[in-house]
Amino acid sequence: MQASTKGSLEPRTSNGLDQFVTALREHGSPDILDLSGANQWNLDFLSTRGRLTSDEFTHAATTAFSGGDFFQNQSDNSRIQTFCKLSLDYPPASFDAVLVWDCLEYLAPELLEEVVSHLHDISRPGALMLCYFHADQAAKTLPVTQFRILDSKTIQTAPRLTSRPTQFYSNRAVEKIFQNFQSVKFFLTRDYLREVIVRR
């Protein structure tokens, strides 16, 4: 992963976020996990809709897998265990909702499987997850982004790093990742971002 020199703070409409926020209401006062790293926008928005836990997923990944090849290091079991202690170290069935954003896109298969399994464990039955996957099959590098919630339908993307994608995530590939979950719902967007709501 490399630091990004490009910035894009353009707001964009997110139908996936809109559905996610609407569905949050069925949980009363939900326990929400946000993997984007703490930012003022998400704190202000989410803390009024439930009890928010903020996690520094990308920071944990760069800490655990740096030194050498970032992607090859993700096959190292001891590094995977280190990563899982830095991020996603929560008791089982802790959350009603998880904002995964694009965190899964930069994970090698072994780590991806471990992380999805952790997400399953720490989510309660019926919990929702919002995930983004870039849909540009030809892209050689992709931004690793912090997503900021401006309102229930609008996000702002702030690229932090760039990274090469580990694979292209077709709809079928996404469904396979979440095969142990109850349902996977896709939202079409005009740009190259595939929005997915997963229900545990």
Partner 1 sequence: MSTLPSRVAEPAHHNTDTYRATAGSATIGKSVVIKGQIYSREDLVIDGEVEGSVEAIEHRIVVGPNGKVTAGVKAREIMVQGSIKGDVEAGDKIDIRREAKLVGNIKTQRIVIEDGAYFKGSVDIQRGEPAKAPAPAAAARPQSMTASTGTTGQMPAAIPVDPAKR
**Residue ranges that bind partner 1, judged by CB under 8 A:** 37-40, 43, 47-48, 51-56, 59, 87
Nearest approach, Cβ of residue 63 and partner 1 (Å): 11
Backbone angles phi and psi of 13, in degrees to 5: -75, 140
- In terms of CB distance, is 25 or 59 closer to partner 1? 59
- In terms of CB distance, is 87 or 163 closer to partner 1? 87
Nearest approach, Cβ of residue 51 and partner 1 (Å): 6
Nearest approach, Cβ of residue 73 and partner 1 (Å): 21
- In terms of CB distance, is 41 or 168 closer to partner 1? 41
Please say whether the dihedral angle defined by the alpha carbons of residues 86, 178, 100 and 137, taken in this order, is positive or negative. positive
Backbone angles phi and psi of 15, in degrees to 5: -65, -35
CB of 165 within 8 A of CB of 106? Answer: yes
Nearest approach, Cβ of residue 124 and partner 1 (Å): 16
- In terms of CB distance, is 59 or 185 closer to partner 1? 59
- In terms of CB distance, is 40 or 78 closer to partner 1? 40
- Under 8 Å CB-to-CB from 152, ≥6 apart: which residues? 17, 18, 21, 22, 45
Per-residue DSSP letters for 88-104?
Answer: S---TT-EEEEEEETGG
**160 CB neighbour count, 10 Å cutoff:** 18
